[in-house]
Amino acid sequence: MKYWRPAYYGLMAFWLLAGLGSGQRAFFVLFFSQALLALAALAMNVWASYTFRFQQTLSSSQTIHGQPVHLLLHIYNENILPYPLMKIRIATPIRNEHRDLQFNLAAGSQVDFDLVLDCPYRGDYRVGMTIIDFIDIFNLVRLPFNMARLPYYRMPELLVYPRLEHLHRIRMHLLERSASFRHHEATDDATEPFSTVRSYRPGDTRKMIHWKASCRQQTLLTRQFELSAEPSVRLVIDFQAPPWTGEAAWQAEDALCESAAALIHQVLLLGLPLRLTCLGSPGPFTSDNLLGSRGLKDFQQIYRFLAAVQFSRPSVNKTADNKPTDNKPADNKQREYKTAGNQPTGPDQQASLLTSQLADLATETTESRAILVLTTQVDLALVPALNQLRRHKRPAMIVVAGPSPDLATVSDLHLQLARQAAELQRQLNELQLPAWFVRYGEGLDAEMLRQQSVGSEAAPVNRGHS
């Protein structure tokens, strides 16, 4: 059947040329008979593409990394004629992968599918039918029909959250809450002391106004303390593109977001104020954000952000099958936030952005209980930057996320990065800088347990990606 279609249309051309050359009516009859059959097959395919009915739903629009979801697909034929052969392409949450369904549908019947979609990576996806191929019974005409042409068609959206683990074995004495500290910024106007307000001054923001006290006194009153007197925990998350390539980069991104979710949840669970700084990140957390006043209520917004955030990298968009392309984003793609400004794309520029941020933290006036750095970079320039923080009495810890071991050595570039990670681990050990190297699929809690079993509590032993 591979050569059937070329042979059919080649024979049509032969009948036409033979008829034009000889003038005999029989050749024209054969030519027009084949042409009419092909046109009828085309009309049947077009009719089927606009008359078939379907229903597709997800068992859940939100899930957690590692937990599959079900895509329920129902195709109906409510007409008196059977449909031609249908081949449906299904976009899945797995990048560079799709599924194909092939079936015939008789008149007045339906076909049901229950597809299990694995979710190995966190992200915001659009899944479901993308392209349907209609092939007539004679295999003469193949009509690819893009579902995006239907004005009412919307692909189901699936949000995959990073796995959230509780750091039961966390040993960070820097994060222990001290009873001598207290918040000067209350979360409820009714419980805030009246002595902490003053008269309104031009330039005071609306957030600083004490509305209940202003109503009682019939004049605008402003809080005198906007920031918390308790030293906050500074969390710096590096959302720049990992140095890894391909699936290894996706795994490193997933491991970073999973570690970030675990640390943020732990800090907010302890009731500590959290200052969040995101590098190379579009979205709501691009600058310095003070969180923790509402405890775990602040976590859901950050958790959703970690699920959908896209790491800054050169323009690489994805098609309906979540495949990378060099063109503009299509409608059916894994959605991305727009990156504000020109983000650095080279490895050296990415490392310089992180190290410059750490240098600024070493000289900032805001007191921090601890500085937690999360990154996928394995640049050796991070060592002097972290050491500088320690010299300025800024306690800092770093989490380096990377791919699973089986993908860390698949190419020369990955081997080079693995050796560089091992060297970074050695230098951090020599300086006794707290650090954890987290691999995809293992989790930060398991890494902390492993280090606590082989190292001291004050200076955990590091383990590289190699």
Q: What local confidence, expressed as pLDDT, does residue 340 receive?
A: 33
pTM of the model: 0.74
**pLDDT, tens digit, 9 for 90 and up, residues 110-122:** 999 999 999 999 9
Task: Label the pairing between strands 368-375 and 85-91.
Answer: unpaired
Domain ranges of the chain: 4-50, 51-161, 189-223, 230-310+343-454
CA distances from 377 to 82, 253, 318, 382, 420 (A): 57, 11, 24, 9, 10
Per-residue buried b or exposed e for 338-361, using 16+ beta carbons within 10 Å of the residue's own CB:
ebeeebbeebeebbebbbeebeeb
The verdict on domain 230-310+343-454 having CATH code 3.40.50 is yes
What is the number of helices (H) and of strands (E) in the chain? 9, 20
- Look up the CATH architecture of domain 51-161: Sandwich (2.60)
Assigned token pair, 217: 């006194």
Neighbours of 190 (CB within 10 A): 7
Q: Using the Cα atoms of residue 310, residue 334, residue 408 and residue 463 in order, give the sign of their dihedral.
A: positive
Q: How far apart are CA 200 and CA 224, in angstroms?
A: 10
Structure confidence at residue 312 as a pLDDT band (50, 70, 90): confident
Evaluate if residue 129 carries a pLDDT over 90. yes
Tell me which H or E stretch contains 74: strand 69-77
Assigned token pair, 256: 């970073």
Q: Which of 166, 359, 194, 348 is nearest to 265 (CA)?
A: 166
Q: Which of 412, 409, 404, 356 is nearest to 384 (CA)?
A: 356
pLDDT, mean of residues 89-104:
90
**pLDDT, tens digit, 9 for 90 and up, residues 75-95:** 999 888 899 999 999 999 988
pLDDT, mean of residues 255-271:
88
Maximal C-alpha separation, the chain = 108
